[in-house]
Amino acid sequence: MGKISSFLETVDYLVIIGYLLVLILFGYYVSFVKNKKSDENLFLAGNSLGWPSIGLNMWGTNVGPSMLIASASVGFTTGIVAGNFAWYAFVFILLLAVVFAPRYLGAKVLTLPEFMGKRFGDSTRTILAWYTLITILISWLSLTLFAGGVLVKQLLDLPMYVSVILMVVLSGFFAAAGGLKAIAYTNVFQMLLLIGVSLLLVVLGVNKAGGLLHIYESVPGSHWNLLLPADDKNYPWIAIVLGYPIMGVWFWCTDQSMVQSILGAKSLKEGQLGANFIGWLKILDVPLFILPGIICLVLFPELKNPDEAYMTMVTQLFPAGLRGLIIVVLIAALISTIGSALNSLSTVFTMDIYVKKYAPKASSAEIVKTGRLTVLIGSLLSVFITLAIDSIKGLNLFDVFQSVLGFIAPPMSVVFLFGVLWNKTTTKAANLTLTLGTIISLGTGVLYLWVLPNGVYQWPHFLLLSFYIFVGLSVMAYLITIFDTKGQKDHQELLRINPAAKPDKQVKILWILLSLVMLALYLFFNGH
């Protein structure tokens, strides 16, 4: 099969250029002509979000171009087993709804570092601010930049380092031109368009492949199993069952970007219903995002690079013009995520660290200067981290994402679970788990992915490694708390977490229904 860029025609490039120009002009209008007041952008939407907005916002944050490209890649290689990352998630979304949300809303906080600051004190809040910088830099910035680099590399046949630098420059250019604000305004439209495109891909792909039955019979039976044997080299069931919960707790219950919508709920019930809604929406991830990769395996079995599965489907099944539209929407959405991550990185460092700890009397000019310098440094760091991620061998795009996230998750999962579920947990236990735990967890990740790479050396599955680290850090947090008797006394002055209200009847019924549907899916998609 030829290069993906060879399938693009003049009309596709015209659509790409035209769409980008429209975004820049619209961004200029939003930023300079309309001149909206900055205080109109309320952080939590005035605690006015209902359950539909919460569910759609959370799904929109979770679903993006990176996910489309990576999910099709893993669908091509291993089938629907990666659907566990979408369907198994309902357990941890339920945990967010009934365990964490009552505490978060009861504490009336704007951010999760603020919540943990009330729970353990300012020292923990400061450490969490640094931890947030690390997670933004790696999970939201570098991984998205990596996905964008892969896309640009496929389209323009450029080296990865050139593609990555181009993406950073594009993001900075859009921000300077006001285009980033335009993308923020059109983000809902773009997400709906991406979802619609995936649905159209599935319909066209199923039709061209000769129907669902033919697709089912044309790939290995294991492609239709959610749980694979314990000796499977890609996703053994034991790794999924034990390892994914660590990532699930971190991502769904403690990551600011995901929990943000819950914090903005008009009531606890709306927040719990919104969480339930995204649980239903996550069911769509497998047919919309993973199935195109399986269809690609049937239609184009000679494809050598699984990471090209999604774009191969786009270029082969869509007509000229529509190809260009989809590609530019992917690029624009990636730029939006990269720009937003840079902005978040700048905001957290400037306000939560620089101003709060070192320059409380800083002038507006100094704050702006620091913010711009942070964006520059963050951009440079993200380029190097992205190139390091690109050097990982033996993993497809989806596995790269999940393995990196798996090594970020354990410290936060331990601290939040202990902090919420065990009142005796002390500040010293939380702080040491966050600091020492981060060194241990990320250090293990560096060894696994680069220094002593898996494949060359025998390692447990990365999800099992995440589980082992979690268990070790949990034991450490427990022992520190038991022996830190002074810390337990000091804790009486900190926020005592009240279990708060129980879910009402409607919430319980909807969660029971979702649980039954998920159980049915797991029974159906096994034994093939």
Lowest mean pLDDT, pick from 191-205, 348-362, 379-393, 479-493: 479-493
- Taking CA atoms, 453 is separated from 161, 243, 440, in Å, by 22, 19, 17
228 in helix, strand or coil? strand
- The residue-averaged pLDDT of 395-399 equals 84
Sort 512 into a burial class: Cβ within 10 Å, 0-12 / 13-18 / 19+.
Answer: exposed
Q: How far is residue 223's CA from residue 210's CA, in Å, rounded to a whole number?
A: 18
Per-residue model confidence (pLDDT) at position 474: 98
Burial (CB count within 10 angstroms: exposed 0-12, middle 13-18, buried 19+), residue 315: buried
Which of 20, 1, 2, 3 shows the shortest CA–CA distance to 324?
A: 20
Q: How many CA atoms lie within 13 Å of 163's alpha carbon, on the beta-carbon side?
A: 23
Instruction: Give the Cα separation of 225 and 234 in Å (integer).
Output: 13
DSSP assigned state of 186? T
Residue 377 pLDDT greater than 70, yes or no: yes
Q: What angle do CA 428, 430, 433 make, to 5 degrees?
A: 105
Assessment of whether the complete model's pTM goes beyond 0.75 = yes
pLDDT at 173: 67
Instruction: Collect all residues with Cβ–Cβ distance below 8 Å to 211 and sequence separation of at least 6.
Output: none
Q: Looking at per-residue confidence, does 106 or 202 come out higher?
A: 202
Residue 448 DSSP label: I
Residues forming a β-bridge with 454: 457
Q: What angle do CA 361, 367, 370 make, to 5 degrees?
A: 125
The gap from C-alpha 59 to its chain's centroid, in whole angstroms, comes to 10
One-letter amino acid identity for 19?
Answer: Y
| 519 has pLDDT over 60 | yes
Q: Residue 98 CA to chain centroid, in angstroms?
A: 22
Q: What is the pLDDT of residues 234-243, one digit of tens each?
A: 899 999 999 9
